[in-house]
Amino acid sequence: MTASALPILPTSVVGSYAIPAWLWAAWEKIGTGGFGAMDVVETENDAVAIAVHDQERAGVDLISDGEMRRQGFIVSIFKYFHGLRAIEPRRKVGILSYDGHVFYEPFERIAAPAGLGTLKELDYLRQVTTRPFKITLPGPLTLATQITKSGPYRDRVEIAADLATLINRELRALAARGARNLQLDDVYQSFIMDPKHLVELYDRCFEGVAAERRFWHICFGTLEGFGFGERTYRPLFPAISSATADQLVFEFANREMAESELWRELDCPKELGAGVLDLKNFYVESPELVARRIRRMLESVPAERLWINPDCGLARLPRHLAFAKLQALVAGTRQVRAELTGRRAS
Ligand SMILES: [Zn+2]
């Protein structure tokens, strides 16, 4: 199926999938040097195959590889960077959160001579699925939040600008190898910069990238259920409406669909991937609740421009819950599709 063969209200995911129990156990062993390089590749391939299979079984139209090789969204990306020195986390015990991360200190201009690892993700995805899929990468500013301003850099904006160049090279390589759907993920941090600069950074990442659809997921953070920042997209407008992104992928469900009116009110020309699964909530939404949330979005966004997805990546959920929520997402979407096609037929 090509992306153009997608149904109305296509369902998708933001990126990461729930980690299987055995993979948590494998990571422990990998961390202590108990796996060889071939064992790691086999383990990661199996994890991707499971993430793909679960998404297909749930009926998701445009899937991902579950970011199974990433070990926590952005953590593994740092292994590709040269010029950075790891700094011990400032807090190591108790609740895991944003202050428990390893930070990095630049001692020279950041480089990634071997790329960022997504080409092998693309190659393996093609082996294990015939469905359309997206490849996702963290955005430059999100990566920069874990890098201190030192060495050749005066501030995070300069760091993010260099990272944007590296991301651009990766996205160009992905598109050249035939990846059609490419996404950047950013945690919105309104306190760091003017939205115009956020848009400039995104556009720099996608400069000259011949993708069919450019996605931009912006959320307020989901690490262990914690958000990060004031939960409003309004300050991003109108700047974000002129970004080169074809689709903005936003979270709504955990905010009880607040700001669902923005598309109509601000006449946003983009597609919207609307988050209708609340991942900071342990219950499984009923298909009826998902359908209600989609109908709410349809009051503001034309059906032709509306996609349906969870609020964020699913990596912070147990797998049984992630799978059940995806099933509800698909079932709820199918209810609304039936209503739409019924209306069109009459
Ligand atoms: Zn997110």
Can you list the domains of the chain with their CATH numbers? 7-74+108-345 (3.20.20.210)
Cα 202 to middle of ligand 1, angstroms: 16
In 3D, which of 205, 206, 270 has the Cα closest to residue 233?
270
List the shell of residues around ion ligand 1, using CB closer than 5 Å: 219, 312
Residue type at position 201: L
The answer, as to whether pTM is greater than 0.85, is yes
- Confirm if 285 and 246 have CB atoms less than 8 A apart: no
Give the sheet arrangement for strand 213-219, strand by strand.
Answer: 134-138, 181-187, 213-219, 247-251, 271-275, 306-309
pLDDT tens string, the chain, 346 residues long: the values are: 444 589 999 999 999 999 999 999 999 999 999 999 999 999 999 999 999 999 999 999 999 999 999 876 667 899 999 999 999 988 989 887 778 888 999 999 999 999 999 999 999 999 999 999 999 999 999 899 899 999 999 998 899 999 999 999 999 999 999 999 999 999 887 556 788 989 999 999 999 999 999 999 999 987 777 777 788 999 999 999 999 999 999 999 999 999 999 999 999 999 999 999 999 999 999 999 999 999 999 999 999 999 999 999 999 999 999 999 999 999 999 999 999 998 766 5
Cα 31 to middle of ligand 1, angstroms: 26
Cα 279 to middle of ligand 1, angstroms: 10
Cα 67 to middle of ligand 1, angstroms: 13
In 3D, which of 138, 82, 137 has the Cα closest to residue 112?
82
CA distances from 165 to 160, 205, 225 (A): 9, 6, 31
Cα 305 to middle of ligand 1, angstroms: 20
Cα gap 229→219, rounded to integer Å:
10
